[in-house]
Structure 1
Amino acid sequence: MKILESGVTLGADEKQELADLVEKMNKRKVIENHPYAISVIQIDGKPYYTTYVADDSKKDGRRKISAQKREHLENKIYEDYKQKTTLSFDMVCKEWLKAHKSEVKPQSFQRLMTDYNRFIPNCNFAKKPIKSIEALQIREYLQKTIIDEKLGEQAYKNLKTILRGTFAHAVERKYILINPMRDLTVSTVNLAKPKKKAREEVVFTIKERDLLRDYITKDSENYGDTVPYSILLSFQLGLRVGELVALKWSDISKGTIHIQRQEVIYDVYDDDLNKTKSSVHEVVEYTKTQAGERILPLTPEAKRILDKIKEWNKIHKLKSDFIFVNASNHNFNRQRINTCLYSYCEKVDIIKKSSHKIRRSVISSLLDNLANKKAVQEFAGHENIETTFNSYYKNISDDDDLITGMCACL
């Protein structure tokens, strides 16, 4: 190596000699780090050296190789390593996605594919051999992407998930010996800060809530299905809309309702990562998180709404166990409910807001009026109280009421 540092010009023979030396050193390093033991077996009285190399096509993920001489076996190990390490980052990333597809929920895999398509094809090391990518390149790419794409905290985490997953997969498959992201630190000072939305955009104030409920209650009697009742029930239970449309009559027992399933939406990908279906709606027998499964008490108003729905379904001879169904006995999807809610917002002349804003409003009202904040967290189905307070709570009092209260206190 001193020859390189001295700046001496090398001839062709010397360059070849140096290349051979580097190759020999690389081979020795690969053999030293080979994860499988080398054994000697006797076949017809002759010694054979055997070991394994990684091979995804085999059931146990490895393939046996052998040679009569140890040197020849080591050559086979090294050639296998060199062949695998010519794989580009993009190729290994796709391989990881294919392997990971069966390990996650469909909606989670869709998010991975969305992030892959957003970031990886234009990544500056996507086509480079994965063995040549170093921590410095990754850090520079992440820092540049944070600024160029104006990444927020969640988008940045999603990008890192793909990078970490790919490099961990490469180590596991023996494509590389060391994960370049293992000790990588990147400054996040340039992450985009979320813009704070006006209160009117994220919750229904008390006056808006009452105005909307009064209008929907009157309109529901002549509406063509039970969608208006789903909105009214949402104001009582504060459910995620995916939980709301998945409710069944069998969930109700002794004045309570069991929240235990949800509707999910996802795209379908085949084994080659080609999208074959878009926006598939499916009701699954699990909630968003473990805390999402909960039993909620039914208020008198919630019971009245459910009785109205049951009566409507009976008149129209709907026999599904799902509470909210159309004329074909198919449960509503979340778009149906939000479309109806947007229409009602326009009719009462308030800002259009989704059903999630109803959920936020209900949780905020409970936090204002209940002393037991832990009970509100459990009602909301949140993993921790910080989510309930920091992500959901907003003041839903109207400005006039707020000013009156301030004048009384100050």
Structure 2
Amino acid sequence: MCNSNNDSCNSPLNKWTFLSKCDIMDLDTEELLELYNMKKQLKKENAILQEHIENFYHIWTNDKGVFLSYLPDSTKPKGRKPVTATTKEKLERKIIDFYLEREQKKENQKEQERLTTLRNIYSLWLNIKGLETNATSYIRRIDNDWNAYYTTDPIIDMDIRTFTKAILKEWALNKVRDKELTKTQYYNMSMIIRQCLDYAVDHELIPLNPYNQFTVDKKLLKKVKQPEDGTQVFLTNERPLIECEAWADFEEKGCTSALAIPLAFQLGVRLGELIAIKETDISPDGKYLHIQRMVQKQERQRPDGSWYPARWEAVEHTKSSAGDRMIYLTKEARRIIKTIIDSNKENGFYDDGFLFIHGGKRINPRAVDTRIRKYCDHINISSKSTHKIRKTYISSLLDGGININEIRKQVGHEDERTTLKNYCFNRKTSVENESDMEKALAI
């Protein structure tokens, strides 16, 4: 057995000599692998030296006993440069190292050449993107956009070093026109090429990102028609009917997931946050609820680029830093929660403290979204998702005169502009609006 502490094992060459003299049966697996790799490396170095002597320059000594040879150098007049050493072994080492370094440079150059198209950069960039987020559904959306806008476009096989501001601007304008892109669609589409080129700059493949040197005029983007208020919130005459459907469903079937809907009208939380509520999130006095986790889709990509079926998992964080918050529980919210907890205890349902359980396991968001669409169909109104409940909640608070910053904090928005721009809608019916107009304009 070889002893790694033996002085004869200090240098790579001596270690090779020592290991090679050992009985192969005395070597362990690690030493056998090391011996194999050493043999492979020595064989390669001997081949390099042999080729140098046979095809290029021999080795000789001068009258001072110095060992000499030449190395190829295209910058010199004769295409070569001298190399010397005090011993033959040192000279051979210099020659071998020269060719190994040159080979490594060629390999690095090949790798760099390989990374000069969007097609090859995309997967590397997407991997980095995946490390920056816990939302795997976001990565899948990016991949869907790549398939929709890029996979059949010749630009992904062009050398990115040939990209100019003019070339990319013309490409972007054609894409906007051909695909009739909206502002959001253009942002999602262009984000891929822009950030792939940023990746190329970071890795010194190109000096700057030409896509950052221009903008597309917003007037060229397809306008999105503002949605009707009645499609974005539950009107004042619709909400009571929806809640009535939910309570009737609970009383008939005993399924607490039906009560997620009236509770959502009281909390205004995101659907993923609603499903992830636990009993322990309720404050000791019962008046506040700590929103600190959510249920989200977890998606994994197969090696061939396709995706495994998505799974819903609870994660111990919210959508953003503003999402981790304490929200007020109204008396009605407390009543609904007590009903849910009592029902779970009566039926012996428990799953890690989660509030909404069916069949002994936490429900997934689809169960709630499917129910509310069914209720919409029952009362004969247009289909609306649970996200429209969140919009209804915010619009109700605004109508009630609650301070906008307080509303922002309650719903977990970073900026009040998001609250006002995307969640403020009129909940009243046309008859109520007419009556209000009459009152407002009366003399």
TM range (shorter): 0.7 to 0.9
What does residue 168 of structure 1 align with? Answer: 198
Question: Is the CA contact (8 Å cut-off) linking 1:85 and 1:131 kept in structure 2?
Answer: no
Aligned counterparts of 2:344 and 2:391: Cα–Cα separation in 1: 29
Q: For 1:181, what is the secondary structure of its paired residue?
A: helix
Report the secondary structure of 1:178's partner residue: coil
TM-score, structure 2 normalization = 0.73
Q: Is the 8 A contact 1:324 1:331 kept in 2?
A: yes
The aligned amino acid for 1:100 is K
Match for residue 294 of structure 1?
A: 325
| Separation of aligned partners in 1, 2:238 and 2:137 | 33
Partner of 1:84: 112
Q: What corresponds to 1:7 in structure 2?
A: none
How far is the alpha carbon of 1:107 from its aligned partner?
Answer: 2.3
Distance 2:246 2:301 in 1: 40
1:258 aligns with 2:290: yes
Match of 2:142 among 85, 91, 112: 112
- 8 Å CA contact 1:125, 1:133 repeated in 2: no
1:352–1:99 distance in 2 versus 1, CA, 3 Å:
closer
Alignment partner of 2:395 out of 364, 373, 390: 364
Moved more, 207-216 or 83-92: 83-92
Residues 303-330 of structure 1, C-alpha deviations (whole Å, 9 max, x = no match): 1111111111112111221100111x22
Q: Which amino acid aligns with 1:102?
A: L
Pick the structure with more helix per residue.
2
Q: Which amino acid aligns with 1:332?
A: I
1:120-139 → structure 2 map (5 Å cutoff): 120-139=150-169
Matches within 5 A, 1:6-405: 67=98, 77=105, 80-81=108-109, 84-86=112-114, 87-105=116-134, 106-253=136-283, 254=285, 255-270=287-302, 272=303, 274-320=305-351, 321-327=353-359, 329-405=360-436
Q: 1:148 to 1:393 in 2, by over 3 A?
A: same
2:145–2:188: 8 Å Cα contact kept in structure 1?
A: yes
Distance 1:400 1:90, change over 3 A: same
Per the TM alignment, residue 67 of structure 1 is displaced from its structure 2 partner at its CA by 3.3
RMSD: 2.8
C-alpha separation between the residues in 2 aligned to 1:107 and 1:43? 64
- Structure 2 unpaired stretches of 5+: 1-73, 76-84
Tell me which structure has the larger Cα radius of gyration. Answer: 2
Q: Give the aligned residue type for 2:389.
A: I
Check 1:372–1:66 CA distance in 2 against 1; reply closer, same or farther (3 A cut).
farther
Once the 2 structures are TM-superposed, how far is the Cα of residue 73 of structure 1 from its aligned partner?
A: 7.2
Matched residue type, 1:352: S
AA of the residue aligned to 1:396: R
Structure 1 residues 132 and 75: alpha-carbon distance in aligned structure 2, compared to 1, 3 A threshold: farther
Equivalent residues of 1:85, 1:130 under 8 A apart: no
1:252/1:125 Cα in 2 relative to 1: closer, same or farther (>3 Å)?
same
TM-score, length-scaled by structure 1: 0.78
* Aligned amino acid, residue 220 of structure 1: F
Q: What CA deviation, in whole Å up to 9, does each residue of 1:47-80 have, x standing for no partner?
A: 999xxxxxxxxxxxxxxx9638xxx979975784
SS in structure 1 at match of 2:299: strand
User: Percent of aligned positions with the same letter in both sequences?
Assistant: 29
2:13 aligns with: none
- In structure 2, give the amino acid aligned to 1:107: S
Query: Secondary structure at the residue paired with 2:427?
Result: coil
Write the distance in 2 (CA, Å) between the matches of 1:217 and 1:75: 74
Gaps of at least 5 residues in structure 1 are: 1-26, 29-41, 50-64
Task: Supply the AA of the counterpart residue of 2:411.
Answer: A
Give the C-alpha shift of residue 247 in structure 1: 0.7
Displaced runs of 4+ in structure 1, greater than 3 A?
A: 42-49, 65-68, 72-83
CA distance in 2, matches of 1:273, 1:157: 27
Q: Compared with structure 1, are the counterparts of its residues 244 and 371 closer, same or farther at alpha carbon in structure 2 (3 Å cutoff)?
A: closer
